[in-house]
Amino acid sequence: MSPSRKEDMPGPRQVQFLTVAEVAALMRVSKMTVYRLVHSGELPAVRVGKSFRVPEKAVHDYLDNAYFDVG
């Protein structure tokens, strides 16, 4: 059975993007640290003109995977 009604069809993904400054504030690091993470590939981002936008989920995924046990 194929979807024939608009409400049956999947909608576009809603991705929230953050600026480098917003990511820096959220992570409590400098903007330069965020740029390093983006340029090294550790934090995915898209380039919009001359600036970068980072998917909010990518920031949370990065922080979730950054935890490590000490001791």
Q: Which pLDDT tens digit goes with each residue over 10-48?
A: 667 788 999 999 999 999 999 999 999 999 999 999 999
Q: Examine the pLDDT at 8 and tell me if it is beyond 70.
A: no
Q: Examine the pLDDT at 71 and tell me if it is beyond 80.
A: no
* pLDDT at residue 5 in the model: 63
Edge-to-edge strands of the sheet including 17-19?
17-19, 51-55, 46-48
Mean pLDDT of the 46-60 span? 96
* pLDDT at residue 21 in the model: 98
Residue 48 within any structural domain of the chain: yes
Contacts of 58 (CB under 8 A, 6+ apart): 43, 44, 45
Q: Which domain holds residue 36?
A: 15-65
Number of domains comprising the chain: 1
Residue 70 within any structural domain of the chain: no
